[in-house]
Amino acid sequence: MDLNKQYEQEFTRPIIKYGRFINLLCVLLCFTPSILLWVIYGAKPSWSDIGSGWGLIASIFLVYAVIEPVSYFPILGLPGTYLGVLSGNIGNVRVPASAVSQEAVGVEPGTKKAELVSTIAISGSILTNLIIVTIGAIGGATLISIFPPIVREAFTYVSPAIFGAMFGMNAVKNLKFGTFAVILVALLLGFTSLPAYVVVPAAVFGTVGFGFFEHYRKKK
């Protein structure tokens, strides 16, 4: 049997089948705490309150819900996307784990080998995350309380540091695209008053569009 067909039948199709089912099941399970509060304690907000709350959250995160799966898919791959959406911390943990592992192994991003490496790396990051979160849940609050204020303040820079390192790692592979992305973001931040949830997708899709333009320009 052709290896690509075997990969499709024995790996990709089961991933899609069980990935859809488990992710949809977890969506339903997310409502369990609210349903228990309603059934046991009778705590049920009005539909207007529910709509207002949903609108507030959607106005902040709806763009990211659309942009993150699209922008991270080339790095995570199909199984990694299912795992990342299910476990959370996609940008902070799963994407760096996937990108660094592919870089360390030396596979070409977007290939089936890269997808397998990404799946293993993300699975390992989830197990590690569970262990750390369990330990942190038990003793983390006490530990953080004894940290000096300057250390606690440093935690606010963790995400920018991770994303900056990821950008630098990928930008050096193609300086033209990296330079374009930096200039585009600088222009959006310096000459517009657009909020972050508009700047982020504009920068992502703008750079993707520039990549397509360059690709087809070279083909001509």
Does pLDDT of 64 surpass 80? no
Residue 212 domain-assigned? Answer: yes
CB-based contacts of 90: which residues, under 8 Å, 6+ apart? 68, 72, 76, 84
Residue 158 domain-assigned? Answer: yes
Does pLDDT of 1 surpass 60? no
Residue 2 domain-assigned? Answer: no
Contact call for residues 214 and 180 (beta carbons, < 8 A) = no
What pLDDT, on a 0 to 100 scale, did the predictor assign at position 124? 92
Whether residue 160 sits in one domain with residue 75? yes
Contact call for residues 125 and 97 (beta carbons, < 8 A) = yes
Domain membership of residue 141 as a residue range: 45-171
The amino acid present at 70, given as its one-letter code, is V
Residue 30 domain-assigned? Answer: no
Does pLDDT of 60 surpass 70? no
Q: How many residues are listed for the chain in this entry? A: 220
Does pLDDT of 55 surpass 90? no
Residue of higher predicted confidence among 200 and 38: 38
Instruction: Work out the average pLDDT over 48-73.
Output: 77
What pLDDT, on a 0 to 100 scale, did the predictor assign at position 123? 92
pLDDT tens readout for residues 157-210: 887 887 788 788 878 888 888 899 999 999 998 888 888 767 877 888 888 889
User: Number of folded domains in the chain?
Assistant: 2
Whether residue 184 sits in one domain with residue 158? no
Whether residue 213 sits in one domain with residue 130? no
Whether residue 192 sits in one domain with residue 156? no
Mean pLDDT of the chain: 84
Whether residue 152 sits in one domain with residue 217? no
Last residue of a domain, one of 171, 186, 208: 171
Percentage of the chain with pLDDT > 90? 10
What pLDDT, on a 0 to 100 scale, did the predictor assign at position 56? 66
Instruction: Work out the average pLDDT over 11-32.
Output: 89
Whether residue 145 sits in one domain with residue 58? yes
Residue 219 domain-assigned? Answer: yes
Residue 4 domain-assigned? Answer: no
pLDDT tens readout for residues 84-120: 888 888 877 888 889 889 888 888 877 888 889 999 9
Whether residue 204 sits in one domain with residue 99? no
Residue 81 domain-assigned? Answer: yes
Instruction: Work out the average pLDDT over 50-69.
Output: 75
Distance CA 179, CA 173 (A): 11
**DSSP string spanning the chain?**
--HHHHHIIIIIHHHHHHHHHHHHHHHHHTTHHHHHHHHHH-----HHHHHHHHHHHHHHHHHHHHHHHHHHHHHHHHHHHHHHHHH--IIIIIHHHHHHHHHHHTPPTTSHHHHHHHHHHHHHHHHHHHHHHHHHHHHHHHHHHHS-HHHHHHGGGHHHHHHHHHHHHHHTT-HHHHHHHHHHHHHHHHH----HHHHHHHHHHHHHHHHHHHHHHHH-
Residue 196 domain-assigned? Answer: yes
Q: What angle do CA 91, 96, 100 make, to 5 degrees?
A: 165
